[in-house]
Structure 1
């Protein structure tokens, strides 16, 4: 009976070892297969376009000084009306033009009077134009000399008074640009797969990226560069 028990135990042990060996081989093959499926390549696809701004914001600013506050207000109103009339003569609509309240500074209210300051009051006025007529605005800016003849000295185009150009129609070109960036990424991936003696598989993961809109250059801020970089990960097959 002792011998039969030992033989049974030996056989059982042999079956267990064989089972474990087969299980280990099966798991190893599965891991190798999974590892083979996880061969991937990550690439970036670029799409760029140049577009023209469809919205422009033009702040027209001028300053006026006087020692009499009432006279200053009258002069400011007259010159403001002339600026508005100038814009309307160029072909802009009234609803595109807005006038802010003048900023009045009393130079003697600060307690210290600079002897070189000739006028006590100084007014700063801004007439703003918000328009979709970008070409008309570009043409009108070249005619500001007409305001100078009216005694209106327009402030220089510094950071606060520079004309701002916007492109607000991104949705109209977004689908085509995403497709272009995806196609560009695929071409890069196919080249990589060919160089590595592999076959390009399906997309594992895709990230669209963020659209950026910037000026093409400082001389033509009304021309915008739209850019997107997409990141895609492809499977590689033998």
Structure 2
């Protein structure tokens, strides 16, 4: 009888111990769950100004007349003036290409003779500059009046707009992501400080898209590169 009572006591003791351990594990799990459920979502920002490293400049010019041979001679003369102008500004033949002339017969539209323009033909040609010398292109654009003085009839239209690009994003990308991530962590640390917590590990991170825009409408050869990252940080007590 005494042995049976002793066995019951031991069994009860083990049961009580198991209940205590179980309760402790459950309490710890709940605490950990609550800890992992607490996080803050922040954004980090990085911006950098960079010079364009590729420039496109289509130079369109025209002439008009009634003799196609003379028109071609005028186009050749204008093209030579453009080539010399570009060479003067440090833009060589290897960076320049010329398109075939576009000829329009203005008498082919069925208008009566009295309403026909004096010049039957108009001709247009385009010389395109493609170069990494973005600053040289910008300076040449500012001096384009020299072409007008040389008798070149320039055409300005939306079809022939200069364009400046930045192609070195891959080189600056890692540094900018690091800056944006640090900016996000600083924001998280400020939030944690205000709430009496501390910043833990990253719960989730999302790198935003990089954008490349002109610094302003007057300096397209200078670009602004921006990126915004979204990061969730765990908060710890």
What TM bracket, shorter-length normalisation?
A: 0.7 to 0.9
Q: Give 1:72's aligned residue.
A: 71
1:3-36 Cα shifts (integer Å, max 9, x gaps): xxxxxxxxxxxxxxxx99x989966763453133
Counterparts of 1:25 and 1:145 in 2: how far apart (Å)? 85
Distance in 1 between the 2:28 and 2:137 partners?
71
**What is the distance in 2 between the residues matched to 1:222 and 1:151?**
28
- What is the CA–CA distance in structure 2 between the aligned matches of 1:180 and 1:29, rounded to whole Å? 37
Q: When the two structures are aligned, how many residues end up with a matched partner?
A: 218
Cα distance in 1 for partners of 2:29, 2:163 equals 61
Provide the residue aligned with 1:16 in structure 2.
none
Shift of 1:81: 2.0
Question: TM-score if structure 2 supplies the norm length?
Answer: 0.84
The 1-side partners of 2:232 and 2:195 are apart by 16
Give 1:1-238 correspondences, 5 Å limit.
30-112=29-111, 115=115, 117-156=117-156, 158-238=157-237
Give the unaligned 5+ runs of structure 2: 1-17
- When the two chains are superposed, the root-mean-square deviation of aligned CA atoms in Å is 2.2
Q: TM-score, normalised by structure 1?
A: 0.84
Unaligned runs of 5+ in 1: 1-18
Partner of 2:9: none
Counterpart Cα distance in 2 of 1:145 and 1:215: 25
- Matches of 1:36 and 1:169, distance apart in 2: 42
